[in-house]
Amino acid sequence: MEILGQILFIAVLAATGWLVYKRAILIKSTISLGKSEERTDQPARRFATMLRIAFGQKKMFDRPLIGFLHFIVYAGFILINVEVLEIILDGLSGKHRLFSPLLGSLYPVLIGFFEFLAAGVLIACGIFLIRRTIVKTERFQPARHREMNGWPALDGKIILLFEIVLMAAILTMNAADSVLQDMGSTHYTQTGNFLISQFLKPLFTGWSEPTLIIYERTAWWLHILGIFAFAVYLTYSKHLHIALAFPNTYFSHLTPKGEMNNMPEITKEVKIMLGLETPADSANEVPERFGAKDVPDLSWKNLLDAYSCTECGRCSAACPANLTGKKLSPRKIMMDTRDRLEDIGRNMQANGGNFLPDGKNLMGDYILEEEILACTTCNACVQECPILINPLDIILQLRRHQVMDESKAPASWNMMFQNLDTNRAPWKFSPGDRFNWADAVKIG
């Protein structure tokens, strides 16, 4: 029976590894569809940013209580995996608490620390679930934010319930294990009581040894299978940011947030218009497309941003256009970009790893013209993101395509463009009269 359990465990572990690997390769392939962009300069500064923002959760602590609770869940997820390592090795070897003889008296202290984290994760996830379902935090409500309808809203609740069940399983498993140790049951290594689970032992008072063993083994399998299922589910969920927050912050913009990337072709045209360059000095090929119409027109970093989005809604909650009731939601921009990537990924899977045109585009089929025109380019969304995602960069590139390739711009914008072209200013007066306002001020 023990050998059968080992074989089953190895099969499940191998299947989990294969599914995660396949999914990771697909995500990498879709991100690679993006245009190249240099993000390897200043490695020391980038590494420091990653440590401060991704590992240290710095921006989460802009709201101290929520930041603290999030850090507990984050730290618990990272550190409890050390115990998962022991469970995996137990499953492979057919042993029980393999590290106990190696660590001696330190072992119950270490497990006690993990239990403390598990209890913290359980409490924090419970609070987060209450905020979503009872308190109904505004930025998670579908009635106010249409992108949170259906799966996105359910996804956040599923993962919280998942964590609660996993933490409950590990704590009750340890409690049942301790009771079996007290009974002197074979196979259960004597380790002594653990920090938190010792208070759960009364739950198992009066249970027979066979029943306790069945419960302990069931909780053991539930916990490890839950971890494996979570690993696969993670690659389809917004919680992929657990892994991608680190590269995303490492490769983030190092320039000031208000600095926008100008198109070199347009910059040269402006310099010619201002007399700073001559046409001969600026021989330049016209790009195939201005801005972005679909995800391959965006950079690989834009696509990494989309997969990294936590859907926390801080960007949309700070967006002035969104606050005034306009359709623009920076969170939706990122979610739509990821949805398009997911559709392209399925297309590639069905066509031997190659993307065949499907008649759809990010602009129009996923993101509406009304959304991108509402953006004021204030950078509030960029400032608020806890993992340095830049929705504005995608919005600007989509808007450039609409204006420059599709000639779709509001009439007031076209008037401004005409004034810029003829008068070198947004206003309809001669360049020679540009500083008349200053003379008027002096006279006044």
pLDDT tens per residue across span 188-247: 888 888 999 999 999 998 899 999 999 999 998 998 898 899 899 989 998 899 899 999
Tell whether 363 is covered by a domain.
yes
Given 250, 278, 313, the domain boundary residue is 250
Claim to verify: residue 292 and residue 342 sit in the same structural domain: yes
pLDDT tens per residue across span 369-415: 999 999 999 999 999 999 999 999 999 999 999 988 888 888 878 88
Single-letter amino acid code for the residue at 304: L
Tell whether 77 is covered by a domain.
yes
Claim to verify: residue 221 and residue 298 sit in the same structural domain: no
Tell whether 50 is covered by a domain.
no
Claim to verify: residue 235 and residue 350 sit in the same structural domain: no
Claim to verify: residue 169 and residue 205 sit in the same structural domain: yes
Chain-wide mean pLDDT for the chain? 88
Given 227, 250, 273, the domain boundary residue is 250
Number of domain units in the chain: 2
Q: Contacts for 53-58 with beta carbons within 8 Å, 24 or more apart?
A: 53/245, 53/249, 53/252, 53/386, 53/387, 53/388, 54/245, 54/246, 54/248, 54/249, 54/250, 54/387, 55/246, 57/386
Tell whether 54 is covered by a domain.
no
Q: What is the pTM of this model?
A: 0.86
Write down the residue that tokens 């913290």 correspond to: 120
Tell whether 326 is covered by a domain.
yes
pLDDT of amino acid 284: 57
Write down the residue that tokens 């967006």 correspond to: 319
pLDDT of amino acid 283: 52
Claim to verify: residue 246 and residue 268 sit in the same structural domain: no
Claim to verify: residue 128 and residue 162 sit in the same structural domain: yes
Claim to verify: residue 292 and residue 417 sit in the same structural domain: yes
Given 200, 228, 250, the domain boundary residue is 250
- Give the C-alpha separation, 327 to 330, whole Å: 10
CB of 97 within 8 A of CB of 180? no
Contacting residues for 269 by C-beta, under 8 A, at least 6 apart: 282
Backbone angles phi, psi at 115, to 5 degrees: -65, -35
Q: Which domain holds residue 153?
A: 2-31+63-250
Question: Quick one: CA dihedral 389, 138, 166, 78, positive or negative?
Answer: positive
31: its two tokens: 């991100």
